[in-house]
């Protein structure tokens, strides 16, 4: 029969051996790298809904101007003969936070249109918009608004502006508050 002292010494030695074995083994470590993603989306946006279109016309002996208002009305000055057909003010769809105020900045320099065949040019100037250009003149109602744009097209003589399609582009800036 074993005595309690021998059992105690045996347990003690067992614990000591187990502890040494456990301590002599180093724990395994594994590292992993994770990815983090974040996306910032625009709170406000503006996109062209319809292009600015002065329609079809013929230059006369002195040339002149075609004035297209943001409301879509057109008038002709000088010797320019407007033909029947479609024309329209440019329009932009603005969206963002409901009731956000914004300002409109129209082109500050003339915009050049080029004839696709002859490289002859015409100039657009005197930009206007509805709502009007200026600090905080626009207000998004329920998060949306349409901004209409008009301008004046300077037309030369038939020699200056021969028959053909004239194209160009312009930029408008919307600052939101």
**Residues 95-148 pLDDT 10s:** 988 888 999 999 999 999 999 999 899 999 999 999 999 888 888 988 899 999
> Structurally, how many domains does the chain consist of?
1
In a domain, 51, yes or no: yes
In a domain, 22, yes or no: no
CB atoms within 10 A of CB 165: 10
From residue 9, give the alpha-carbon distance in Å to each of 12, 18, 54, 114.
5, 14, 106, 104
In a domain, 145, yes or no: yes
Please give the structure tokens belonging to residue 82: 């407007």
In a domain, 164, yes or no: yes
Q: What is the pLDDT of residues 51-61, one digit of tens each?
A: 999 999 999 99
From residue 44, give the alpha-carbon distance in Å to each of 99, 130, 140, 144.
12, 19, 10, 10
For the domain that residue 108 is a member of, what is the CATH number? 2.60.40
What's the rounded Cα separation, in Å, for the pair 169 and 123? 11
**Contacts (Cβ under 8 Å, ≥6 apart) of 177:** 100, 101, 102, 103, 136
Residue found under tokens 């016309």: 57
Query: Residue 5: which pLDDT band, with cuts at 50, 70 and 90?
Result: low
Residue found under tokens 């996109």: 47
In a domain, 28, yes or no: no
In a domain, 59, yes or no: yes
Q: What is the pLDDT of residues 11-66, one digit of tens each?
A: 555 555 555 544 555 678 888 999 999 987 667 899 999 999 999 999 999 999 99
In a domain, 97, yes or no: yes
Give residue 146's domain range: 45-176
In a domain, 39, yes or no: no
Please give the structure tokens belonging to residue 29: 């470590």
């Amino acid at each position: 029969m074993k005595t309690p002292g021998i059992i105690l010494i045996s347990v003690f030695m067992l614990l000591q051996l187990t502890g040494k074995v456990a301590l002599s083994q180093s724990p395994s470590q594994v590292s992993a790298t994770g990815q983090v993603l974040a996306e910032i989306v625009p709170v406000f946006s503006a996109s062209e809904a319809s292009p600015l279109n002065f329609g079809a016309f013929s230059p006369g002996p002195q040339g002149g101007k075609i004035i297209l208002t943001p409301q879509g009305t057109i008038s002709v000055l000088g010797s320019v003969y407007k033909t029947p057909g479609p024309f329209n003010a440019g329009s932009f769809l603005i969206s963002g936070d409901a009731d956000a105020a914004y300002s409109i900045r129209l082109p500050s320099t003339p915009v050049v249109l080029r004839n696709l065949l002859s490289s002859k040019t015409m100039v657009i100037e005197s930009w206007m918009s509805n709502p009007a250009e200026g600090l905080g003149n626009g207000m998004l109602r329920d998060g949306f608004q349409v901004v209409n744009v008009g301008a004046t097209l300077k037309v030369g003589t038939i020699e200056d502006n021969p028959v053909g399609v004239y194209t160009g582009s312009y930029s408008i800036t919307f600052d939101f508050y």
